[in-house]
Amino acid sequence: MRYLPHTPDDIQEMLKVIGVGSLDDLFSDIPGGCLNREPLNLPKAMSEWELNAHMDALAATMAPSGEYRVFIGAGSYDHYIPSTVPYLLSRSEFSTAYTPYQPEISQGTLQGIYEFQTLVTRLLKMDVATASHYDGATALSEALLMAVRKTKKRKVAVSSLCHPYHRQVLQTYLRPADVEVVEIPYTSTGQTDMEAVQAMDGLAAVAIQSPNFFGVAEDLKSFSGLIHEAGGLMISSFTEAMAWGLLKAPGEQGVDIVAGDGQSLGIPKSFGGPGLGILASSKAYMRQLPGRLVGITTDLDGKRGFVLTLAAREQHIRREKATSNICSNNGLCAMNAAMYMASVGGSGFKRLAQINHNKAEYLKKRLKDEGLEVPFASPTFNEFVVKFSQDPDELEKRCLAKMMVPGLALGKFYPKLKGYYLLCATETLSKDDMDLLVKEVTA
């Protein structure tokens, strides 16, 4: 590791240039009560090699990666990553993820984004996709703002089965914009309540996640017909992109805008980030898309070239009129996802999706055969809800002792489902792993 501090003389010279006498003067606008005047409670400074040894010792207290059997998805999924992906991504041509402000000398970066956009539109069966966003939560928020701008209505309905954290982020986006957000309840089938939507009026859009937070596939086509009759837009979100290798794509179900997270497209979980925001729409709404789009053209000599296109001037100059505060994208993550999709291929993607579905169905059947309650009978994709009969605290403690995480407790997010767990099984879990979980939770 490198540490390159400024010398006291460097600091004084910089302070002189900006016209202040000390570093404290830089924070004079902050009320005194908000400043910490006490020294930080930090350990004694170490040399570089002492620090390296300390970090190695801390790492040794953790279980090596792969030893734990983790049955949690809930927006962040374990999938095998082809060795081609990290190898290609580590090449210096791709490792710079910054925005290509000078497209004439960024042809490689622009082509990578163009390939990503192309693969996303094929996966989702949509007309156009952006150059990516920060994560699924911000992509969903941007999709709802698109609908508000397009319809001039200031009320949206969002399924309560959209990821809870995504719903928190969109509230942060929409509340300052004076947009009313109505949550749609769910039914005993584990799906969003369509009758509740029928009773609502004045909606700019309806946002439904599929597969939803319970892993249940939603009837996007019926919701699309319903909101279109009411003059609004249909927005579909997702957290598990792998599902579109098996389920009918949003673009084939009348969806206007699709927003989701592409983390499962070859991006490691990495303790929670970074993710990859995916945003796509039909042609009718592409000029409302925030961020960047890359197009293909020919130069005066007839040679192929890639360009940034459809970027509104307001995005750069009249910023108060901009479609979004998004000015960059997770470029390296987008490149990662494109490499993954290209490596796996269309037929490979479908096969992986089928394996994911089959694994979860096997685990679900085993648990049901042992007498555990699976409350929702609707079709699911690699995630499902189950109720454990044992005390949750004792069960989790026993499973952790055996290096196993038995799903995500849902009571924190849905109080009525206290004692229920969300389980996920991808291709990374073996039959023996799942059988061991069944043995522990039914002991």
Residue-range domain boundaries for the chain: 8-35+45-60, 69-80+346-441, 84-340
Going by C-beta distance under 8 Å and a sequence separation of 6 or more, which residues neighbour residue 389?
371, 372, 442
DSSP string, 313-350: GGGTSSGGG-S-S-----HHHHHHHHHHHHHHHHHHHH
| Strand intervals (E) in 196-287 | 205-209, 233-238, 257-261, 277-281
Sign of CA dihedral 30, 35, 39, 43: negative
- Do the two domains 69-80+346-441 and 84-340 of this chain adopt the same fold? no
Q: How big is the chain by its Cα radius of gyration, in Å?
A: 25
- Taking each continuous run of H as one helix and of E as one strand, the counts in the chain are 11, 14
Distance, in Å, from the CA atom of 97 to the CA atom of 78, rounded to the nearest integer, reads: 24
Distance, in Å, from the CA atom of 172 to the CA atom of 277, rounded to the nearest integer, reads: 17
Distance, in Å, from the CA atom of 127 to the CA atom of 300, rounded to the nearest integer, reads: 28
Q: What is the pLDDT of residue 320?
A: 66
Angle at 181 between CA 123 and CA 207, to 5 degrees: 20
Q: What is the pLDDT of residue 1?
A: 45
Name the CATH architecture for the domain at 69-80+346-441.
Alpha-Beta Complex (3.90)
Burial annotation 340-349 (CB, 10 A radius, 16+ → b, else e): bbbebeeeeb
Distance, in Å, from the CA atom of 427 to the CA atom of 79, rounded to the nearest integer, reads: 7
Instruction: Answer whether 233's CB lies under 8 Å from 204's CB.
Output: yes
Q: What tokens does 364 get?
A: 């679900």
Q: Tens-of-pLDDT digits for all 443 residues of the chain?
A: 455 678 889 999 999 999 999 988 988 889 988 888 888 898 888 888 898 899 989 888 876 655 789 999 999 999 999 999 999 998 877 766 555 666 566 788 888 899 999 999 999 999 999 999 999 999 999 999 999 999 999 999 999 999 999 999 999 999 999 999 999 999 999 999 999 999 999 999 999 999 999 999 999 999 999 999 999 999 999 999 999 999 999 999 999 999 999 999 999 998 888 889 999 999 999 989 988 889 999 989 999 988 888 765 445 556 666 677 676 678 889 999 999 999 999 999 999 999 999 999 999 999 999 999 999 999 999 999 999 988 888 888 999 988 899 999 999 999 999 999 999 999 999 999 999 999 999 98
Residue 196, CA distances (Å) to 182, 223, 233 in order? 11, 11, 17
Q: What is the pLDDT of residue 104?
A: 62
Burial annotation 152-180 (CB, 10 A radius, 16+ → b, else e): ebebbbbbbbbbebbbebbeebbeeeebe
Give me the residue label for tokens 């994208």.
Answer: 329
CATH of span 84-340:
3.40.640.10
Centroid of chain to Cα 126: 19
Q: What is the pLDDT of residue 307?
A: 86
Q: What is the pLDDT of residue 224?
A: 97
DSSP label at residue 103: G
Residue 353, CA distances (Å) to 8, 342, 372, 385 in order? 59, 15, 26, 19
Q: What tokens does 371 get?
A: 């007498």
Distance, in Å, from the CA atom of 49 to the CA atom of 19, rounded to the nearest integer, reads: 39
The SS3 call for residue 66 is coil
Q: What is the pLDDT of residue 319?
A: 61
Instruction: Answer whether 289's CB lies under 8 Å from 279's CB.
Output: yes
For helices 107-124 and 331-369, what crossing angle results, to 10°?
30
Q: What tokens does 355 get?
A: 């394996």
Q: What is the pLDDT of residue 125?
A: 98
